Amino acid sequence: MEFCPKCGGLMLPAVVDGRKVLKCRSCGYVKESNNPGNAYRLEEKVQRHPLDKITVLDVNVSTLPVVPFKCENCGNDKAYVYEVQTRAGDEPATRFYICTKCRKVYREYA
Ligand SMILES: [Zn+2]
Ligand SMILES: [Zn+2]
C-alpha cells in the first residue's frame, strides 16, 4: 500500500493513457506505477504451470499422431503425442501428450 507524498492520502491503482499508475484518492496526485507485481506474478504463473506455455505454442494437433493415453483430467483415453527436441541431439526428446478431448497437456520426463 502506498501513500501520497503530497497529502498522505491513499494511493490507488488507476489507468491513465493506458499506463498503470497510482493515483491519490484525495488530491489526485498521479505517480507512475513501478510496481513489479504484475511481471512477477506472470513469471510465477509460468513457472508453476510450465505446460500452460506449451499449450499456446502453435501446434497443429490435427497433424499429430494419436496414441492411447489415459487423461486424468477428463477420463479420455486418447492423446496427441508431440515431441520436442529440447537440447543437443544426444538428449532424448521430451514428449508431450495432449488430450484429444480437453486438450490438457501432459509432459513425459525421459
Ligand atoms: Zn494526495
Ligand atoms: Zn482430457
What are 11's three cell numbers? 494511493
CA of 60 to the centre of ligand 2 (A): 17
Provide the residues around ligand 2 (an ion) whose CB is within 5 A: 71, 73-74, 76, 99, 101-102, 104
74 assigned binding-site residue: yes
How many angstroms is it from 20 CA to the middle of ligand 1? Answer: 17
Domains 2-35 and 49-108 share a fold: no
Position 58 scores a pLDDT of 58
Compute the distance between CA of residue 64 and CA of residue 90 in angstroms, rounded to an integer: 23
- Segment 71-86 shows an average pLDDT of 88
CA of 99 to the centre of ligand 2 (A): 5
Give the sign of the dihedral formed by CA 40, CA 46, CA 48, CA 52: positive
The confidence score (pLDDT) of residue 13 equals 87
What's 2-35's CATH class? mainly beta
Q: What pLDDT is stored for residue 44 in this prediction? A: 44
pLDDT tens per residue, range 11-69: 998 887 788 888 999 999 998 866 544 444 444 444 455 555 554 455 677 888 999 99
User: Domain extents for the chain?
Assistant: 2-35, 49-108
H helices of 1-110, in order, are 37-48, 50-55
Owner of C-alpha cell 532424448? 92
Q: State the distance from the centre of ligand 2 to the C-alpha of 72, rounded, in angstroms.
A: 7
Nearest ligand, CA 79: 2
CATH of 49-108, one of 2.40.30.10, 1.10.540.10, 2.20.25.10, 3.40.50.720: 2.20.25.10
Query: Which pairing describes strands 30-32 and 19-24: parallel, antiparallel, or unpaired?
Result: antiparallel
* Torsion sign (Cα): 94, 103, 61, 55: negative
